[in-house]
Structure 1
Amino acid sequence: MKVLLIHAEHFEFKALSKAVNEAEEPILKEFNGNNALVMFTSVESGDLNSLSKLLSMLIEDIANLLQTLKPEYLVIYPYAHLSKDLANPAEALKVLKGIEEAVKSSVKGVNVVRAPFGWYKSFTIKCLGHPLSELSREYRVALEAKEEVKPTIFKCFIMNVQGDLIEVTDEEFKGLTEEPILTTYCLEKTSLSKWVLKPRLEELFKKFGYVLIRDKLGVRLGKVGQALHVDRLLSSLNDVIIERLTKDSNFTKVEVSSLGYSLNIDNVSEPLILTDEKGLKYEVSNDSIPIHAHILKELLGVKQVKPPLFMYEIKPVLKKSSELNFRDYLTALTKPQFTAVVDDLRSGLDIVKNLVLDLTTAFKDLNLLEDMVVIAEVSDLSFKEGLLEPILQTLRNHNVKALIKVSLKEGSLWDFIIRYVYIDSSKSPTELSKTALTSSMSRAFRISYFDKDNNQRYPVIITSDLIGAPEVLFYALLDKALKFEEEGKTPCLPTWLMPTQVMVIPVTVENQELVNYASLIVSKLRENSVRSEVDLRNVGLGRKIRDAGKEWIPFIVVVGEREVNTTTLNVRVRCEGIQHTLTLNSFIELLKKEVKTPFT
């Protein structure tokens, strides 16, 4: 079976006269409609014998296209001119009726129309002209039971830390890298969802106030105390990135807030969009509908808001209650969503290049970059045109390991997608951040505006998770600490992230001079924006030091008579596992670097 698919702005046909004796008596002699996916179909000899398998392949393909393109009509149009090996008329009619029945029973949200078989017909078609508007398909079932050989639909390159691009095949992967994701992801032998939480990590999550709740409603992650503090600080990194991206450009900020993002909304052809009395947009969407796409369509087309503009929000994620593993909820609690719209591809590339620089710098400052791999998925055309090169150069400058997957499939909506993937202590991949650029989605979803010369323009759209969901990022930071622990080192977290950064402990609270000196130290530290406390409990010194260690407090300052007499500090540095004798001023200078938010 051969099929030519045309996404038409307008399509009409009219049956004129019978072309063969076996022509059916038409139920529908003419049709006239807009937004139609027209399926010109040639039924070939042998198709009827393999009809169930052919229909299975066709329905899966058509369902994906319908979900993406959202046509109002699907028109099955008999078309003998695609093949020289046609089925006889009786068989062809049975196959066409089978297609019609299968589509109607399997696919919802579209009106299915079948043009009559065996008739001369006139037709008029106006193609929309976006990347998915003209597609050809061929469906065959092998006659012999042979092992299926999948055609190559992509090329893969590994970029090593020296910045060299090496094209690789299955055999050539051996010895190129120690990272399992680089040796398997491109061969589609693994996915980013494979992940097992170590018991020690779940214990650490509980320690910092993340509580796993299992009940009749399903599995959820509750947050108390330190977890709320950590979430707030990690989320603030996204605000810093957005400010850096947009401060030097004339961006319009569009306020948007959503009811949520669902990974489990089934058979939804349109997102739910509401507008409150202040004009804010609320949207519930799913994976099949690009985030903010429908809001953009209204902003540019109806309200005439001109690029450049951006939207940012942290979407709550809606999931069906079920017994899911812990990682499912790490990746499904919140969804930071940044969407930028610009006039042209060059401006879009500049945004992505700057964003990649900021993300790379941030992950480096978080001490995660050396445990990360960047995966770039790019269309064949975009790769050949060098669109990815500025991004790759940024990664080379920071000695980042990368995998480049060049898709040879036609019709991709994305020019490229950049993923930052953390390799955890189990050698499993976890995606922290995803950024994508598209120059064709605006046409597919009819997102357009009119410029100052009244010319219709289709903008370039960039979407990004930025630094990613705070829960997932904190998982990576905890796992990094676990790597230290497994190496026999003291596990620690970045100082800037900790609720208490310095604990000052007088040797005894019975000595008022020691208490006064400890209080003075804390006062000076707080004046310099260091979160510090003094432990005035009437318990032993060893107990206080152990308790501070259990809380992973980065710096412990012990104050005794010697420190008072010499006006120095005895400082224990958790991450280094060593002690220093410092003056208060030198300690403050050290802390200024430690408490600074990454890349600010």
Structure 2
Amino acid sequence: MKILILHSDLVEVEPKKKAIKDAEEIEQKKQHMDECLVVFTAVEKKDEGNEEEMVGKLVNEVQKLATELKVENVMLYPYVHLTSEPSNPKTALNVLKNAENILKEKYNVERAPFGWYKAFTVKCKGHPLSELSRELSPGEKVKKFFDKPFEFHNESVTEEEKYNLSVAAMVGKAVSDLYKEAEVGSIGLHGDRAYVDIAKVKLNEETLPKIKKQVKKIIGKILKFEKVEAKDVNQRLQKEILKDVGDVDVYKVGDLEVVPLYKDAFVKSTKDVAKFELLGLGSAYWKNNADNEQLTRIYCVGFKTSQEHENFMKRLEDALARDHNKLGRELGLYMTSDLIGQGLPLFTPKGTKLFQILQRFVEDEEEKRGYLLTKTPFMAKSELYKVSGHWDHYRDGMFIVKDGNDVMALRPMTCPFQFQIYNSKLRSYKELPIRYNETSTLFRREESGEMHGLIRLRQFTISEGHLICRMDQLEQEFFAVLDLINYIFKTLGLKDYWYRFSRWDPENNNGKYIDNPKAWDESEKILKRILDKTGVKYTEEKGEAAFYGPKLDIQMKNVYGKEDTVVTVQIDFALPERFNMTYVNKEGKEERPIVIHRTSIGCYERTIAQLIEHYAGKFPLWLSPVQVKLLNVNDDVLGYLKEVEKELKENNIRVEVDDRQKTISKKVRDAQIEKVNYIVIIGQKEVDEKKIAVRDRTGKIEYGVS
């Protein structure tokens, strides 16, 4: 296949007469398109039998250029004159039609008629990217996803972050020294640690001591972090980073040039680092694109003093003991399977019971507060998401499914579905506010390097809610939402959270937000006024808003210091207009409501992770999947043990029996590891007295309990 793509001010096409007997039947009319890509396409003989592959390659080339040039209009133009070996007409037409259908999911697309003589006018823009030709061949890999460009953070890092990043650069240098074929990728921050990505070599946990030894040698050499000219950057990956971030200071440590992603990223010299640690390995795709090469990610930390190092190691020891990804598995709450895939946890009966306890608590509390429970589909046609704006602003994070002629998508959020319920009949001002809630299963396409435990998942469940109200009800409803969230967090015992006012960033829009500056300014002013009235302390963060409106985020840190959003509350003017949501006011006229998007407990999986880490697995009695563990001293007492089990279950106590052929000390030790609230030991004495011995988590035992 040969293509010629012109970035044009306009194109006009007028069919004159059929050029071949297999020309498609059309209504003869002039086509006109402004601000577009004109894609002249010639399908070739070698493409026959590879139609699906060639459609993908054509679509990929158009999407790449449309994304780079921020173009929304595409004209597909069959142009056989680009090749001397054209395919048969049927193949060529099928390729063009299928490419048109796929591109229409994201762009405004027209296709010039196939097999006709046409008069056409093209006004090409004339910049360096306005005329591009490509030859596409079967058998070459097609990228399904797109690169995520690197961004430079213009705020200076903290001293702690500077030491971490400096060690990450030294680790990159050490790997380069040890493995000449190694290439150093990005150096970044992840919570309380830094990382460096390494390409071209296979690294594992066994190689870390060797790398650590080399880093110590580098520190001993007292190498400076020197600024160098950008033109001196020779390594392939560093050149790519530099191309993305533009004009930034480039540093050199020894013979390794490093393009930083942060301002003032490094210490002056390797001797400034008193201590460091390598914390383990991970993996990441280059530029967060699963089609690119997979790199090994090495996590590390650096310290100015030995005391800081000692303090960190103590915190790390505690963090490892509380890490939900480790502890949740040890407690038998959830597991994962390579056959199922990353970001798709399997909750065991114990984990599912914890999930159920939380869900019942949340749904019951929301019902008390006037919420109406809904149950909506897991997927919808692309048309729904085009109305909501998700298709334009969030499509890369969605799972797309083809069903015949329909393009479907698994839902990334529930709001468009509940809006259909609202719009199912005429609404009066007297009905408002309407508060919908749903325990929603959602799907978002996370890259492998981003997923971790129960924090970042491809499928997850949230306590989703949408309040549809009048403007005069907005403040009261917002206050009530905050009251619900604070009540839930207090009941759960979670205290270390804070509020973030997440705003849009008009200077870095890049299609991320709905383009209505007036509505954005108004909604941000309203949200700020409401927040100030609540008296809560909050930080402000530009560029963290939802694509349709500002939001209040409730933030928490995990045991490693990484910040995550656990709950969001958003004010939305945009979607009520997009979905033409109205109510009839007192005067009998239609008005537009306003919507509050909110979660109450947030993502259940993420909140369970926070609870595991907060309580170190020792849940309060009401949350524990197993509240009581029954242990028998020998088989002679099993009859009485079953009687006790039955009575406890009849009183809604969650109980589990351990009647294994093990010593009682072994059973007690295992129950302690499982962190159950109470251990009940039944021996012959308990049978004779018809009583039980109860041991709590502290080891205190109370005998003769009836």
State the TM-score, normalized to the length of structure 1. 0.53
Q: 1:238 matched to which residue of 2?
A: 362
CA contact (8 A) 1:535 1:544 kept: yes
Alignment of 1:222-261 (within 5 A): 222-246=346-370, 255-259=375-379
**1:195/1:528 Cα in 2 relative to 1: closer, same or farther (>3 Å)?**
farther
CA contact (8 A) 2:571 2:597 kept: yes
Q: Deviations over 1:526-563 (max 9, x none)?
A: 44422234555554221221121232211123456887
Secondary structure in 1 matching 2:618: coil
One-letter code of the match for 2:359? S
| Structure 1 residue 573 corresponds to structure 2 residue 696 | yes
Alignment of 1:161-560 (within 5 A): 201-207=324-330, 208-215=332-339, 220-246=344-370, 255-259=375-379, 266=395, 284=409, 291-293=414-416, 296=419, 298-299=420-421, 303-306=425-428, 307-318=432-443, 323=448, 325-327=451-453, 330-336=456-462, 338-370=464-496, 372-378=497-503, 381=521, 387-388=527-528, 396=536, 402-405=538-541, 413-414=548-549, 416-451=550-585, 453-482=587-616, 491-505=617-631, 507=633, 510=636, 516=640, 522=645, 525-533=648-656, 535-537=658-660, 539-558=662-681
Secondary structure in 2 matching 1:434: strand
**1:526/1:493 Cα in 2 relative to 1: closer, same or farther (>3 Å)?**
same
Cα offset, 1:336, TM superposition: 2.5
CA contact (8 A) 1:218 1:322 kept: no
Aligned equivalents of 1:318 and 1:350: distance in 2?
A: 32
Alignment of 1:77-96 (within 5 A): none
Alignment of 1:100-179 (within 5 A): 108-110=106-108
Q: 1:45 matched to which residue of 2?
A: none
Aligned equivalents of 2:606 and 2:398: distance in 1?
A: 30
Q: Number of matched residues? A: 421
CA contact (8 A) 2:414 2:440 kept: no
Higher relative contact order (CA 8 A, sep 6+): 1
Q: 1:163 matched to which residue of 2?
A: none
Cα offset, 1:243, TM superposition: 0.9
Q: Deviations over 1:54-92 (max 9, x none)?
A: xx99966956xx7xxxxxx89xxxxxxxxxxxxxxxxxx
Secondary structure in 1 matching 2:464: strand
Secondary structure in 2 matching 1:468: strand
One-letter code of the match for 2:580? R
Secondary structure in 2 matching 1:556: strand
Aligned equivalents of 1:471 and 1:270: distance in 2?
A: 20
Q: Deviations over 1:473-514 (max 9, x none)?
A: 2222222344xxxxxxxx5223223332012445555469xx
CA contact (8 A) 1:504 1:558 kept: yes
Mark the runs of 5 or more structure 2 residues left unpaired by the alignment: 1-8, 15-32, 36-63, 75-102, 111-120, 124-150, 161-189, 195-260, 264-287, 289-296, 300-318, 505-519
Q: Deviations over 1:212-264 (max 9, x none)?
A: 212486663223322322232233233134213316xxxx6655233379999
Q: Deviations over 1:310-369 (max 9, x none)?
A: 444344444669755434884332243634243313423333322222222222332332
Aligned equivalents of 2:522 and 2:156: distance in 1?
A: 24
One-letter code of the match for 1:258? F
Q: Deviations over 1:190-215 (max 9, x none)?
A: 9xx99999796444333324222124
State the TM-score, normalized to the length of structure 2. 0.46
CA contact (8 A) 1:308 1:340 kept: no
One-letter code of the match for 2:654? R
**1:572/1:109 Cα in 2 relative to 1: closer, same or farther (>3 Å)?**
same
Cα offset, 1:428, TM superposition: 0.8
Cα offset, 1:580, TM superposition: 5.3
**1:387/1:332 Cα in 2 relative to 1: closer, same or farther (>3 Å)?**
same
Secondary structure in 2 matching 1:494: coil
**1:568/1:322 Cα in 2 relative to 1: closer, same or farther (>3 Å)?**
same
Secondary structure in 2 matching 1:419: strand
**1:355/1:431 Cα in 2 relative to 1: closer, same or farther (>3 Å)?**
same
Secondary structure in 1 matching 2:359: helix
CA contact (8 A) 1:257 1:313 kept: no
Aligned equivalents of 1:521 and 1:583: distance in 2?
A: 14
Aligned equivalents of 2:704 and 2:329: distance in 1?
A: 36
CA contact (8 A) 1:373 1:422 kept: yes
**1:341/1:476 Cα in 2 relative to 1: closer, same or farther (>3 Å)?**
closer
**1:556/1:521 Cα in 2 relative to 1: closer, same or farther (>3 Å)?**
same
**1:583/1:436 Cα in 2 relative to 1: closer, same or farther (>3 Å)?**
farther
CA contact (8 A) 1:568 1:581 kept: no
Aligned equivalents of 2:530 and 2:337: distance in 1?
A: 45
Aligned equivalents of 1:228 and 1:295: distance in 2?
A: 26
- Larger mean CA deviation between 416-425 and 562-571 belongs to 562-571
One-letter code of the match for 1:303? K
One-letter code of the match for 2:107? G
**1:295/1:565 Cα in 2 relative to 1: closer, same or farther (>3 Å)?**
closer
CA contact (8 A) 1:335 1:465 kept: no
Aligned equivalents of 1:568 and 1:428: distance in 2?
A: 49
Mark the runs of 5 or more structure 1 residues left unpaired by the alignment: 1-22, 29-36, 40-55, 67-72, 75-104, 119-148, 153-168, 175-179, 275-281, 483-490, 586-600
One-letter code of the match for 1:479? E
**1:537/1:437 Cα in 2 relative to 1: closer, same or farther (>3 Å)?**
same
**1:573/1:358 Cα in 2 relative to 1: closer, same or farther (>3 Å)?**
farther
CA contact (8 A) 1:525 1:532 kept: yes
Q: 2:309 matched to which residue of 1?
A: none
Q: 2:209 matched to which residue of 1?
A: none
Aligned equivalents of 1:221 and 1:563: distance in 2?
A: 42
One-letter code of the match for 2:452? F
CA contact (8 A) 2:461 2:604 kept: no
Aligned equivalents of 1:219 and 1:151: distance in 2?
A: 28
**1:539/1:240 Cα in 2 relative to 1: closer, same or farther (>3 Å)?**
same
Percent identity over paired residues: 13
Q: 1:94 matched to which residue of 2?
A: none
**1:450/1:520 Cα in 2 relative to 1: closer, same or farther (>3 Å)?**
same
